[in-house]
Structure 1
Amino acid sequence: MSSVFLLDTTKKPLNPVHPGEARRLLSQGKAAVWRRFPFTIILKTEVVEPVVHPLRLKLDPGSRTTGIALVNDASGQVVFAAELSHRGQAIKASLDDRRVVRRSRRRRKARYRQARWQNRRVPKGWLPPSLFSRIANVLTWVKRLSRLCAITAMSMELVRFDMQLMENPEITGVEYQQGTLMGFEVREYLLEKWGRTCAYCGATDRPLQVEHIHPRANGGTNRISNLTLACEKCNTAKGAQDIRVFLKKKPSVLETILAQARHPLKDAAAVNATRWTLLDRLKVTGVPVETGSGGLTKFNRSQRKMAKTHWGDAACVGKSTPEVLKIDQIHPLLIRATGHGRRQMCVTDKFGFPKQHKGRKGTYLGYRTGDIVKAVTPKGTFQGRIAIRYRPSFILGKIDIHPKYMRRLHRVDGYEYRYGRSA
C-alpha cells in the first residue's frame, strides 16, 4: 500500500506509516490531517528520539510526464509514487495567443514602428517558458517531498536522444550502424513514439520489429518519419506493399499512422534541452545526485519484471536500485500541472471582441477558485473544486453553494490530483 507521510509536532518528517496505522492515529485523536495531496498527517504528541530511515528520491524526467518514486534502499520498499504531467504545450499555446493579440493591437492603434526584436540579450542558460515550466514543476515537488520525508539521496535519469541519428540513421556511415549499438537510439525513440504497440494491429504482448512505412524496395528511406513498429505477423504480411494498399480496409488506422509518422521531434528536443539544467538545479539542493542512462533503467525494469510506467521507470533509475523492489498495491498519485490562473483582465469571444471584465481580486471570503471544499447543506453533502463569485454564492459542480456550508479540504496550489491504479 502507498504509505502516508507523517510529521511530528514541530513539522519535522518522520518515517511514513501504513495507511492502517494512519487511520488508527486519526481515529484515536493522536494525529490530524496536515495535507490531502499527498496525504500527510501530523502528530499531536511528541515522539521521544524517533529513528528516521533515509529515503532516495528517484526521477524519470520526460517531455510530457515525469515519473517520481521514493524508495527505501535498505528494504527495497517503494514508499511513494507519482506521475507529474507538465503543461508546456499549454504555455506555448498561451504565448502564441498573446503574441497574436499584441501584434493585432499594435497594427490597429499605433503608427508603424520599426521592428526592434533584436534589442534584448538572452541571459546565459535561458530556456523558453514552455521548457522552464517542466524544470520548475519537478523542483517544486522535490522541495515538497523534502519537507514530508527524510530524503538523503536522489537519482535522475539523464537520457539523451541523438536528433541527427534519429532523423537519418546513416548520417555517420554504414559502419557505425553495424556496430554494437546498431539501432539502439532509433529503437528506443520508436518505442516511446508508438506506445510500444504494433502500429497495424495494436498488439502489445509480443516482440516488435522496426518496419518501414514506405518500403525500402520502393525507394523508402531510413529517416525516423518513415519508421514504425510492427509485430512479426503484420510485418511479414505487409512485405513490400505500399501502406495504402495494405491498409485499404482500415482507413482509420492508415490515417493515424500517417499522422503519427509526421509527428515532430519536439518531445525529444525538450528532454535534451532541459536535462542538464535540471541536474544542475538538483545539485544546488545539497543532496547527492546519482545519474543513470535510459538503457540502465530499461535493464533494471526488465530484470525486476515490472510493467512500463512512468513511476516504475523512476523506481528503476540508477545503479542504486535494490535487487528486489516492493511495489505491491502502490497507487501512484497522478499530478497534473494547471498553473495559478491567468492575468487576463478582459475575456474575449472567439472573434476577439471583449465580452467580460475580470476583477483584480483573486479571493473572496477567504476562498479561491480551485479550492477543494466539502459542503454540508440541507439538500445533501457535496465535495469538489469551487469557482468563486464576488458574492456569497460559489459554484461547486453544477450547483450554487453558500460559503457558510463549506469547509476547505485543500488549497489550490497549481496542480490537480487523482490516484491511479495499483501496481
Structure 2
Amino acid sequence: MRVFVKSMRGSNLDPCKNQKARKLLKEKKAKIISYKPFTIQMLVPTGETTHESHVGIDLGAKYTGVAITQEDRVLAKGNIECRQDVKGLLETKKIYRRSRRSRKTRYRKCKFKHKTTRVYSNKKGKWVKKKTSFTSPRPKSWLPPSLESRTQNLFFWIDTFTSLLPKVKLHIEVGKFDVQKMKNPDIQGKGYQEGDTFGYHDVRYFVLARDSYTCQVCKKKGKILNTHHIIYRSHGGSDAPSNLISVCTDCHTSDNHKRGRILWHWMEKRKKVPTYKEPPFMNALRIRTFRRYPDASIIYGSETTPRRKALHLEKTHYNDAIAISGIQHIKENPHRIFYIKQFRKKKRSLHEATARKGRKNKNLTQKRNKKNTKEMKGIHLNDTVRIFGKIGFVSGFTTTGLYIKDIHNAYITKPGKTYKQVGFKDVTVKNHNNNWQFISHLAPDGA
C-alpha cells in the first residue's frame, strides 16, 4: 500500500512508495500526521504535479472492497468489514431495560412523546387535553441502528480515502434487489401484492395446509398440530413460513426441544433456510449513496464481472473494486492488501443479568470485570501489539496477563500451549488505536 502525502500547505499530492516515505522521515523532510491510513506531510517545498486518481468502491452488506488506481497502476487495495453485532447488543439492552420493571430504580422518562388531543369532558363540562397515543421521534429517513452503523462507517472510510488523494474521481458499485423476484422468478403483476400466505387466515393455517395437516416428525395425521420453528428464534430464526413446520402435540414437547433430541436433530439436518435481510439493506444503502455522492460514477454488478475478467483478476471484493475504478490494463499491482475492521472498545453495562464464567455471584456492586478493563500497565484495549512474531490486537485483560486476537478474531496463544492468556513481558506495543483495526498483509491469491 502506498503512503499518502500532503504538501506543506496541506494540499494532496500523489501517494509515494514506502521506501521514499521512510527516507523523507529519516531526513526530517516530512512528518507523520496519520497512521490509519499512513499519511505524511512535507516539511520542505516540493513540486505539486499530480495525476488523476480513481477510487473504486464495491459496496457490500458485510465486506466492502476498496481500490485506489492512477493510470495503469494499482496504488492500494483492501477490504473493510462492518460490524455485525449491533442488533444482538441492542436486544441485550432491551432485556436490561425490561428488567427495570421488576426492580426498584429511579424514574426514567418515556422514550416516545405523548400525542395529545382535545376531547369534551361531560364530567367537567368543557374541552380538555387528553393523552391518546405515542408518537415516534424518528425522522422519515430513519434506519435501524444496526444498518445506520454500517452505512455511516462505510461513508466515513470513503470520505477518508477521497480526502487524501488529488484530482479524485469516485466509482461506486451498488446493488438493486427484488426480493419477491428472488423468491419466485415468475412473479409479475398483482402477484407482488399476494404473498405466500395469500388466501389463508394467518401463517399458521398456511403452514398446516402446506404440510397436508401431517406431523413432520411422526408422519401421522388426525392429531392436534402446532407450528414449530426449524431454526429457533433464540438462534436467529424468523417467523417466515419457510422456517415453520407442522408438529403434533405428542412430538412438540419441551424435552424434544433440548439439544440432541428429535426436534434439535431436525434443525441440524434441515438445509439452511434462505434469509432476505441483506437485500433491503443494500437497497437502502443505494439510495443513500446517490444522495451522499451525487457526482460519483455509479455502476452495477452486471458491469463489474466482465471488467474484472478482462483484467484477469480473481473474484474478491478488492479485485472487484479495481475493475470498478475504470482501469483499462494493469501494469503495477501490489501484493499486499489492507484490512480494516471495527472493534467494540467500550462495554457500557457494568453489571450483567447472569453471572459470567468464573464469577460465583452476580455483579450487583457494579464492579467492572477484569476482561473489560480499558488499560493495564500502560497497555490499552485494541492496541496493536507484536507477540510471538505475529501482529495482534488487545481484546481483554486478566489479573496477570492479557488476551490477544488477530484481525480475524482468532486468539494468538503461546506456542505449544492451549490456554489463551499471554504474559505482559511477551508483548511489544506498536501503536495505540481508537475503535478501528487496520492491518496490511499479503493477498491470499498472490495478486
The answer to which of 137-146 and 412-421 deviates more is 412-421
Structure 2 residues without counterparts, runs of 5 or longer: 113-133, 190-241, 243-265, 405-421
The number of residue pairs the alignment matches comes to 324
Distance 1:12 1:342 in 2: 39
Q: Counterpart amino acid of 1:55?
A: S
Q: Deviation of residue 274 (structure 1)?
A: 1.7
Q: Counterpart amino acid of 1:353?
A: K
Q: Counterpart amino acid of 1:273?
A: A
Q: Counterpart amino acid of 2:147?
A: L
Q: Deviation of residue 84 (structure 1)?
A: 0.5
Which runs of structure 2 are paired with 1:144-223 in the superposition (5 Å)? 144-172=160-188
Distance 2:82 2:297 in 1: 23
Which runs of structure 2 are paired with 1:225-374 in the superposition (5 Å)? 258-260=270-272, 262-283=273-294, 288-317=295-324, 321-326=326-331, 328-347=333-352, 349-350=354-355, 353-354=362-363, 357-358=367-368, 368-372=380-384
Distance 1:338-1:136 versus aligned 2 partners, 3 A rule: same
Distance 1:383-1:268 versus aligned 2 partners, 3 A rule: closer
Higher relative helix content: 1
The equivalent of 2:91 in structure 1 is: 96
Distance 1:120-1:8 versus aligned 2 partners, 3 A rule: same
The equivalent of 2:43 in structure 1 is: 44
Q: Deviation of residue 361 (structure 1)?
A: 9.9
Matched, 1:56 2:80: no
Q: Counterpart amino acid of 2:170?
A: M
Q: Secondary structure at the match of 2:135?
A: coil
Distance 1:133 1:4 in 2: 28
C-alpha offsets along residues 254-309 of structure 1, whole Å, 9 cap, x if unaligned?
A: 9999533x1311122221222111331234xxxx2110111011121122221111
Distance 1:128-1:306 versus aligned 2 partners, 3 A rule: same
Q: Counterpart amino acid of 1:322?
A: I
The answer to which of 143-152 and 330-339 deviates more is 143-152
Give yes or no for contact 2:82–2:150 (8 Å, CA) kept in 1: yes
Identity %: 25
Q: Deviation of residue 330 (structure 1)?
A: 3.7
Distance 1:420 1:130 in 2: 31
Give yes or no for contact 1:14–1:150 (8 Å, CA) kept in 2: yes
Structure 1 residues without counterparts, runs of 5 or longer: 174-224, 226-253
Give yes or no for contact 1:304–1:325 (8 Å, CA) kept in 2: yes
Q: Secondary structure at the match of 1:259?
A: coil
Which runs of structure 2 are paired with 1:44-123 in the superposition (5 Å)? 44-47=43-46, 49-72=47-70, 75-87=71-83, 89-109=84-104, 118-123=134-139
Q: Secondary structure at the match of 2:16?
A: coil
Distance 1:381 1:328 in 2: 27
Distance 1:314 1:274 in 2: 17
Distance 1:36 1:256 in 2: 46
Distance 1:29-1:383 versus aligned 2 partners, 3 A rule: farther
Q: Counterpart amino acid of 2:89?
A: S
Higher relative strand content: 2
Give yes or no for contact 1:306–1:312 (8 Å, CA) kept in 2: yes
Picking from 407, 419, 422, the partner of 2:441 is 419
Q: Counterpart amino acid of 1:135?
A: T
Give yes or no for contact 2:397–2:403 (8 Å, CA) kept in 1: no
Give the aligned CA root-mean-square deviation in angstroms: 4.0
Q: Larger C-alpha radius of gyration, 1 or 2? A: 2
The equivalent of 1:183 in structure 2 is: none
